[in-house]
Amino acid sequence: IETVLKEENYRLVFAASGLEALSLLRQLRPDVVLMDVRMPDMDGITATQRLKALPQFAQLPVIMITGHSEKAVVVDSLRAGATGFLVKPFGRDTLITKLREALGAP
């Protein structure tokens, strides 16, 4: 993901855990978040719920990324406020298309 997005000139910031992601987001104003479902200390669904509960982030697009496509994971992600979903492995074009959709870009 990092290699593809750097080639497309996206500015990237990474967090190693759900708590670190929430802390970074309070300091930054990203245009979109790619959130892994499985992370240490807090899963991506919980992190998305907490993020979306903050008024300044209620409209922030969140694309969930996972290696598991169980229906419950997709449903829980969407209920948490995710705007998109990517199941690994996915290709470069799929990633770029999802990001452009989330950003409202052509």
Q: What CATH number is given to the structural domain containing 49?
A: 3.40.50.2300
Higher pLDDT, 5 or 69: 5
Residue 32 pLDDT:
94
Q: Tell me the pLDDT band of 40, cut-offs 50, 70 and 90.
A: confident
**What is the number of domains present in the chain?**
1
pLDDT of residue 55: 93
Which residues are registered as beta bridge partners of 66? 87
Which amino acid is residue 80, in one-letter code? A
Give how far Cα 22 sits from Cα of 48, 50, 67, Å.
Answer: 9, 8, 22
Band of pLDDT at residue 97, cut at 50, 70 and 90 = very high
Q: How many CB atoms lie within 10 A of CB 3?
A: 8
What is the pTM for the complete model shown? 0.90
Structural domain range at position 27: 1-103
Contact of 40 with 70, CB cutoff 8 Å: no
